[in-house]
Each structure stands twice: as structure tokens, then as C-alpha cells.
Amino acid sequence: MSATFKELLAMAKEQTEPQRLLFLFARTEGNNPKKNKKMQKGHIEPIMCVDKLPEEIANFDALIKEADSVESNWQMVFVAGLSGQKGIAPTPEAAEPYLNKMTNDVVSGQNIASYVVMDRAGKPIELMVN
């Protein structure tokens, strides 16, 4: 399991208020495949979103397996946390507008610094906006 994801999951469970984790799975569409992959330009295409309580996720491998059972053509996952109130975790219905915001942020390239981004192996990805 990814150490980064394991730490993220542990931090979510340690928060004062219960959390709901938001995941947006995406793939890249490069427009210059001959360039070094590290500096390749292109855009990110959201594929699917899901929200889960930290307790619903056994580990990164389980999350990947579940995602791949729906759609396996993704390369990265954006992760955010949504905090509950008064000891009650946010509902899936409460998470929906935040998942929509994540999608809009990724498509527009705006505000993506507030998300943790990982590749399929759970390694952090640093994205630059041009």
C-alpha cells in the first residue's frame, strides 16, 4: 500500500470531526508525446468520482481494485477531505457539490493545489498549471 495514502487515511481518521474522502479519477491527454514525460503538456480528463468514509477503505490497493472494476482507463486520482460537523460525517448527498467542484477545478486547472494527487502506484504527483 502507498505510504502516502496510508498517511492520508490515518490523518483523516485522526481529525476532530469525522471526514468523508472525495476521489476524482482522471487521465491525461498529452499533446506532445515526443517530449519528456516529466515536462509533457496536455490536459487532464476526469473519468469518475466517488466519496467514501475513511472506514470504508481498507487500503490503497482495495480502492484501486474497486475503481478498476468500474473504469480502468485512469492514471491519477485527486483526493480531498470533507469535514463533518458536531461529530457527524458528511453524507454522500452533501459530498456531491464538492465532487462537482473538484471536477470543475481539474477541467479548468484552477485550485488544484488544494488536492492530493497520486498515480496508480500511490506516488504523489506534482502538477503545474500553464
Q: Report pLDDT for 29.
A: 82
Scored b (16 or more CB within 10 A) or e, 44-83 reads: bebbebbbbbbeebeebeebbeebeeeeeebebbbbbbbe
pLDDT in tens, 35-87: 556 666 778 999 999 999 999 999 999 999 999 999 999 999 999 999 999 99
CB 30 within 8 A of CB 40: yes
Q: What mean pLDDT comes out for the span 6-18?
A: 93
Share of the chain above pLDDT 90, in %: 69
Q: Report pLDDT for 32.
A: 57
